[in-house]
């Protein structure tokens, strides 16, 4: 999972993620937006889940983060899309709306995000 942090014209930190992990970047850009308390909540949940069968989720405005002891899933809330509404032969494109990654990899991105925020 590759990523790059940058600041937009307004000074907001943005992250760009590699293909297949775009939803992770969207989660940071839409839900976190510099909210270090949210990142701490996710890190605490990851610690709580370690070695257990439990699951945890955080529903945001645009994206929901779901996590168990090994995996993180980030899904756009709009994915509750009824495929029957589509015309025949059409597919709903959701590659940028759903991503999976390991918990450890996700925690590395959180640490890098925090370091970027505090360093710039």
The proportion of the chain whose per-residue pLDDT surpasses 70, expressed as a percent, equals 86
Q: Tell me the mean pLDDT in the region 27-51.
A: 95
pLDDT for the residue 5: 95
pLDDT for the residue 90: 47
Tokens of 95: 């590659």
Compute the distance between CA of residue 65 and CA of residue 101 in angstroms, rounded to an integer: 11
The domain spans of the chain are 3-78+96-119
pTM, rounded to two decimals: 0.84
């Amino acid at each position: 999972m590759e990523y790059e942090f940058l600041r937009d014209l307004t000074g907001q930190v943005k992250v760009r993620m590699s293909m297949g992990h775009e939803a992770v970047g969207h989660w940071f850009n839409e839900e976190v937006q510099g909210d270090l308390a949210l990142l701490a909540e996710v890190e605490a949940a990851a610690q709580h889940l370690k070695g257990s069968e439990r699951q945890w989720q955080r529903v945001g405005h645009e994206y929901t983060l779901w996590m168990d002891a090994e995996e993180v899933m980030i899904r756009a809330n709009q994915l509750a899309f009824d495929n029957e509404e589509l015309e025949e032969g059409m597919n709903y494109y959701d590659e940028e709306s759903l991503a999976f990654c390991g918990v450890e990899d996700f925690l590395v991105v959180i640490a890098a995000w925090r370091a970027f925020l505090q360093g710039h």
